[in-house]
Structure 1
């Protein structure tokens, strides 16, 4: 393997709190497990029994049947000894639930970005989250020639060697045909014997809505006018931002139920710059139409305000803001 450097950050919250806060949920952590390999034949020599027990403990803690796992992000450093031991441990853990083979994709980010040492596990977790987001499985590079010491045909695993859609597994379980969510595991092992495994599951808002009628009612609210602000340092930059938002809409990535979230993020998360527009809309279609008209240079677009934050015009006192707030709302001045 090739050494690499990196850092990653994730924000962890209880799922119920994240749903209540209407956060963007990237994945759900079903379980975590750690253990140690104990004494082996060398400092960098892993213990397949300990690794198997690690993965088994994570599956049991998550209440996940191994047959429902459709991707494993392996520690996978590409070594003659370490990789076969890792596959042996994984296979032992999975075979306690099923004898099926060749159903679970496996890969390693190390072939793409190198071994990030202390950040290797975070890199693998990030890769899984991105695959869940795009519903795609990405290839591990330089893996056309497989390790001859691993007999993959006798394991649950298939090395992911091409870009393809990540299908939700549909399998017979408890006497019925069931569709399972995208579930993945990520392993990270340290020299000296430290082992860690995390089980991740895709977040399915439709499931949350069914379990929470209040949330479902909120998400079904439509035709509520919202203020969508955009800003940039220059007029050209502002049009570029508008074009980017328009491209996302045209790609079908947003629906009317997303509109309040889009408005909130642009209101709270944006950096307020000199050139600004706001669009008052009640649907994604209306937002698309007004963005198109703005980019075409049309004037007097109903519900669109344009302005500048000129130097020296900033309000310094919150009391001044409060005093002017009602006037701004009456005038429709949302800059």
Structure 2
């Protein structure tokens, strides 16, 4: 922090937000949420589907849908699980992907979930659909414990309920746990689903529900809250660890604070003194001068009692000492999506983190004129009613997020922008381009295209790989554009790159450098101090000494070598869906998307202006192959990798193109499930790339779809043919509640397929009954996969004795 912002007294290392995922009204993911916020979207509407006839609010679509198979959960158990658990499982998966962490990597990760609602438990009890899965499916503690179990997290696993401040209080606990060393990574979540009208009535009885169905934060029309629902998940690391790992950082969490009103006019009436004490303590812990704070995401419920108290508390701490023309900017996401209660704090924090990351403040809706009890000018506050850039300041951006519970538990988080890295800057002009070209060329030894999916995504059973390889035409064009952008002129380098397609000057470059690859030309034309004289000479090292192009290239190879684009899914549909999404991204002609699939080199990442059209032909070929995969035209990895149906990829060069063959071989190994050293494939400096998030294959699960598990109770069983293959598959599918003939992964463990201990006993009993054999109680422990069990049963038949 700079001296203008940072003060003494900061306590504890900041945390970095390195991954985010969300589902909020009007937005199914983080990108959709940000787009909605930027355009000032209003997601409030009447209840539909399962909430048909409910009063206006912020509702999620399709809350009954869930990808149970991916998470190894049987249809019966999924039907008895609170949809809040299901929602958190999917969002945690996406947040880890966003953080470029393989979802089931496990480790010392803590889970901290804020929640104050369990409507599904109420519905479950009312329906009478209660069995052994009801406790784990509806008890609130399992909102956190389910995540820790599935994702193999060994850190603290806690559910926090402080009412409407629950998720921001969960963040406070996570930050403390990270600082105490109880975990090395923290998952922080908030979730709220309003599945019954009972909650509406309770708030109505309190007199807090808005009769107009809109949240009017700090506005004269403020008349109560509008209920909303959704969930958000954050992945946090200590800042130092995140920077060392090269993680993308959305924002930093400098400090948090939590307190309680401690008495007042009533149990549910907020007090200004407590909120002022909270703010003062939070910024003291952060070591931040309150006058330097740029923005606060309000609790902002839009109530007549709450808004004036919050405004006066902000003015008393953060407005003091500000100039009239530099007020504190404030806003509330509740005007877009409603009050998410247990998830309200996480919704506000995700909005603010995205705003810091994009350096833009979205508008707050429904504000025309201030509440008569709120003197915005006197308090030095201003509601952000239009989309705008953050206030221009010399120091780093600092902002806050507030969340207050109905019972008086108040929470506030102090956020800062991500640390700026001089080596990763988007250059906007020729001078910046030359500087960044030098950075890329001088410090990229062993650097290759970004690792695509391999290191940061889950390696699921169904896999495909497509080789992305720049061709000779693109190579010549890129050489011209790169050399020109790095400072060469027509006279000095015989280079002319006047657009995406280039001119005849580029042909001259290709002819005059017959034995020099484009990456060597880039290095040659991008030496230190901006000195460029000849296409084959680079200024590098002290005094700008010139060296032959090949010499620096051998030390600072900036590779445009082909890389395998890797896809994996739990089902064939998910694999094809993923290929289709990737093809869609490529067709948007976005350089960032090209970088994501390995088509952009390290120099491109450093902002050399290689236009999209330069590699249009390679992209078109890749899109075509991805489309084929998405359409199911080719389900064979060897076909995708080599373009020859039935081909068996080998290490031999195809048509003399050894790099392509090497990439194809690595991809083939991935498709066949063989271990691959991706660090060796992509190089030590490779960074994971962002690809479309995993496409969940959802099906409906609700209390009325729950069916008893286990084999038929009337003693019937599939006929025993002597071959255990069909027997094991049919019985396993039946116990899981799936249709006969369901495609099951023979090499997946029964646990991963969704069998719990009770189901395992049922399967053993069914197999024993069908075969007439005496089987041990440890049958599935000794043979934990369908393939292993089938082989054991077959081996016993061959030996001709009883299987025990």
Is the TM value for this pair above 0.5? yes
Matched, 1:225 2:562: no
Q: Which residue of 2 aligns with 1:90?
A: 314
Tell me the CA shift for residue 243 of structure 1: 1.9
Picking from 359, 371, 384, the partner of 1:160 is: 384
Is 1:100 aligned to residue 428 of structure 2? no
Question: Per-residue displacement from partner, 1:66-99 (whole Å, max 9, x unpaired)?
Answer: 1211101010101111011011111222256x25
TM-score by length of 2: 0.32
Contact kept in structure 2, 1:230 and 1:241, CA below 8 Å: no
1:49 maps to what in 2?
Answer: 273
Tell me if structure 2 keeps the 8 A contact 1:28–1:203: yes
Equivalent residue in structure 1 for 2:402, among 175, 184, 187: 187
**What residue ranges of structure 2 are gaps of 5+ in the alignment?**
1-224, 425-437, 445-518, 520-557, 568-574, 639-648, 665-804
In the TM superposition, what are the counterparts of 1:293-308 in structure 2 within 5 Å?
293-294=617-618
Cα distance in 1, alignment partners of residues 289 and 397 from structure 2: 13
Question: 1:311 Cα deviation (Å)?
Answer: 3.5
- Do the aligned partners of 2:316 and 2:379 also contact (CA within 8 Å) in 1? no
The residue number in structure 2 matching 1:292 is 616
Equivalent pairs counted in the alignment come to 283
Aligned match of 1:63: 287
**In 2, are the aligned partners of 1:279 and 1:290 still within 8 Å (CA)?**
no
Partner residue, 2:346: 122
Aligned to 1:3: 227
Q: Note the alpha carbon deviations across 1:277-318, whole angstroms, 9 max, x for none.
A: x647454355834532245x5x8x9xx99687743557xxxx
Map of 2:584 onto structure 1:
240
Q: Does the residue aligned with 2:296 lie in a helix, a strand or coil?
A: strand
Could you tell me which of 639, 654, 660 is aligned with 1:332?
660
Alignment of 1:211-222 (within 5 A): 221-222=443-444
Label 1:188 to 1:208 Cα distance change in 2 as closer, same or farther (>3 A): farther
In structure 2, which of residues 407, 420, 437 is the aligned counterpart of residue 205 of structure 1? Answer: 420
- Tell me: CA distance 1:221–1:192, structure 2 relative to 1, closer, same or farther (3 Å): same
Structure 1 pair 71–220 and aligned structure 2 pair: CA distance change class (3 A): farther
Distance in 2 (alpha carbons) for counterparts of 1:66 and 1:132: 18
Query: What is the SS of the residue equivalent to 1:203?
Result: coil
CA distance in 1, matches of 2:391, 2:365: 21
Post-superposition offset of 1:217: 7.2
Residues 1:13 and 2:341 are matched in the alignment? no
The answer as to whether partners of 1:8 and 1:123 remain within 8 angstroms in 2 is yes
Distance in 1 (CA, whole Å) between partners of 2:442 and 2:624 is: 28
| Normalised TM-score (structure 1) | 0.72
**Cα RMSD for the two superposed structures:** 3.6
Mapped partners of 1:78, 1:220: distance in 2: 55
For the pair shown, which has the larger CA radius of gyration, 1 or 2? 2
CA distance in 2, matches of 1:44, 1:219: 62
